[in-house]
């Protein structure tokens, strides 16, 4: 028996403030519903709070008949609830990370549906349990405070489309309790049992070991909540650091341009050297985020700490000219003293890149 009260009334009481803040009554919201317990709990809560909701189900087609059954399940449930539903089948690229490619295809489809349905917000069923896994994954790959803050409750998904995660205070145990109280069956994704994906290895191998270490019934739920509280603290600290970094970028920027093909930001390298170590790292990161439109600063494709640190050390060492290709689109150049001690951050826009 969990040490937490899993009754729907207590869950509603705790999660209502997040829904009131992130999903206002006057906004039409697109709910991403896969058919799993988390997304069904999201739909149940949106209905409970009387929101104007449209359901979106994205079929990645990766599990054959099981994917088709998930889609049919969501359509049938929405018909019974008299909730409008839009399904979309997407093609997931096989080159690179399958998980990252599926995520990109899913969000692209959600943006498209949100615009078609006049929804200004997209809500997902991410929970405190997902947050715990995300923070552990980011920590294991050496992320700094940006990674340890976990998933943000809200962010811009596209112009005039916001992504909302109103259930980050709930654990996976609580979402299944909601579905049970509503007498809603849910679908189990068989791919969640595969240890080929790193997140599943964390879920099935690392978390059970943590349960043994910290001991106590319901301890993983407690750890998930504690991690959620820590993420809130880290996010607040990061907001202050970001504000300071933006001020420093404005102070040391020598040139900015935005053409039909590229965005460019040039920083004064000598002034950069005078910044505090923490601000140096943050300025480089935010300069890249600024020229790329934030594209590489959320999720699995995030710019790694090592790339930022290598660039920072080269600038401080007064080394010779160097160019780093941080991503296919994004490059950072240190010009060296001979060319004026400049840091040039440049992003080529997607539409002008050759197809790979």
Average pLDDT over residues 330-340: 93
User: Is 205 inside any structural domain?
Assistant: no
Residue 20 sits in the same domain as residue 107: yes
Report pLDDT digits (tens) over 195-238.
777 888 888 888 888 877 765 555 778 888 888 888 989 899 98
User: Is 146 inside any structural domain?
Assistant: no
User: Is 227 inside any structural domain?
Assistant: no
Q: According to the per-residue pLDDT averaged within each range, which of 44-48, 63-67, 208-212, 296-300 is highest?
A: 44-48
Residue 35 sits in the same domain as residue 169: yes
**Given pLDDT bands bounded at 50, 70 and 90, which one contains residue 8?**
confident
Residue 244 sits in the same domain as residue 172: no
Residue 68 sits in the same domain as residue 183: yes
Domain housing 86 = 8-126+165-194
Average pLDDT over residues 312-337: 91
Least confident interval from 68-72, 192-196, 211-215:
211-215
* Number of domains the chain is built from: 2
Domain CATH number, residue 104? 3.40.50.620
User: Is 36 inside any structural domain?
Assistant: yes
Report pLDDT digits (tens) over 278-290.
999 999 999 999 9
User: Is 145 inside any structural domain?
Assistant: no
Residue 186 sits in the same domain as residue 246: no
Residue 339 sits in the same domain as residue 274: yes
Average pLDDT over residues 114-124: 96
Domain CATH number, residue 305? 1.20.59.20
Instruction: Please write down the HEC assignment for all residues of the chain.
Output: CCCCCCCHHHHHHHHHHHHHHHCCCCCCEEEECCCCHHHHHHHHHHHHCCCCEEEEEEECCCCCHHHHHHHHHHHHHHHHHCCCEEEEECCCCCCCCHHHHHHHHHHHHHHHHHHHCCCCEEECCCCHHHHHHHHHHHHHCCCCHHHHCCCCCEEEEECCEEEECCCCCCCHHHHHHHHHHHCCCCCCCHHHHCCCCHHHHHHHHHHHHHHHHHCCCCHHHHHHHHHHHHHHHHHHHHHHHHHHHHHHHHHHEEEEEECCCEEEEEEEHHHHHCCCHHHHHHHHHHHHHHHHCCCCCCHHHCCCHHHHHHHHHHHHCCCCCEEEECCCCEEEEECCHHHCCEEEEEEECHHHCCCC
Residue 49 sits in the same domain as residue 186: yes
Residue 171 sits in the same domain as residue 67: yes
Residue 268 sits in the same domain as residue 180: no
Residue 69 sits in the same domain as residue 181: yes
Report pLDDT digits (tens) over 132-156.
999 998 888 777 777 888 899 999 9
% of the chain with per-residue pLDDT over 70: 92
pTM of this structure:
0.82
Residue 260 sits in the same domain as residue 114: no
Write down the pLDDT at residue 2.
46
User: Is 292 inside any structural domain?
Assistant: yes
The pLDDT of residue 298 is above 70: no
User: Is 343 inside any structural domain?
Assistant: yes
User: Is 40 inside any structural domain?
Assistant: yes
Residue 180 sits in the same domain as residue 48: yes
């Amino acid at each position: 028996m969990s040490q937490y009260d899993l009754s729907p009334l207590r869950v509603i009481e705790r999660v209502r403030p997040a829904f009131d803040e992130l999903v206002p009554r006057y906004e039409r919201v697109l709910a991403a519903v896969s058919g799993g317990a988390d997304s069904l709990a999201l739909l149940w809560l949106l209905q409970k709070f009387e929101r104007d909701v449209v359901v979106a189900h994205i079929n990645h087609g990766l599990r054959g008949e099981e994917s088709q059954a998930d889609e049919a399940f969501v359509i049938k449930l929405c018909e019974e609830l008299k909730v409008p539903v839009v399904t979309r089948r997407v093609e997931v690229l096989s080159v690179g990370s399958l998980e990252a490619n599926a995520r990109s295809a899913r969000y692209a489809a959600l943006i498209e549906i949100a615009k078609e349905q006049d929804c200004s917000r997209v809500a997902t069923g991410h929970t405190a349990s997902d947050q715990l896994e995300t923070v552990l994954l980011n920590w294991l790959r050496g992320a700094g405070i940006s990674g340890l803050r976990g998933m943000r409750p809200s962010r811009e998904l596209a112009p005039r489309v916001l992504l909302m995660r109103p259930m980050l205070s709930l654990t996976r145990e609580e979402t299944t309790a909601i579905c049970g109280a509503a007498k809603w069956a849910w679908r189990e994704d068989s791919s969640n049992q595969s240890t080929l994906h790193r997140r599943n290895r964390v879920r099935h191998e690392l978390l059970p070991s943590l349960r043994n270490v910290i001991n106590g019934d319901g301890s993983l739920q407690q750890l998930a909540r504690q991690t959620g509280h820590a993420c809130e603290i880290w996010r607040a600290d990061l907001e202050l650091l970001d504000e300071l970094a933006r001020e420093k970028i404005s102070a040391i920027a020598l040139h900015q341009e935005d053409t039909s093909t590229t965005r460019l930001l040039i920083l004064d390298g000598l002034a950069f050297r005078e910044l505090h170590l923490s601000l140096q790292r943050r300025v480089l990161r935010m300069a890249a985020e600024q020229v790329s439109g934030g594209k590489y600063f959320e999720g699995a494709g995030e710019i790694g700490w090592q790339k930022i640190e290598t660039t920072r050390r080269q600038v401080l060492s007064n080394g010779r000219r160097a160019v780093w290709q941080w991503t296919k689109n994004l490059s950072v150049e240190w010009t060296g003293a001979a060319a004026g001690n400049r840091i040039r951050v440049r992003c080529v826009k997607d539409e002008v890149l050759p197809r790979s």
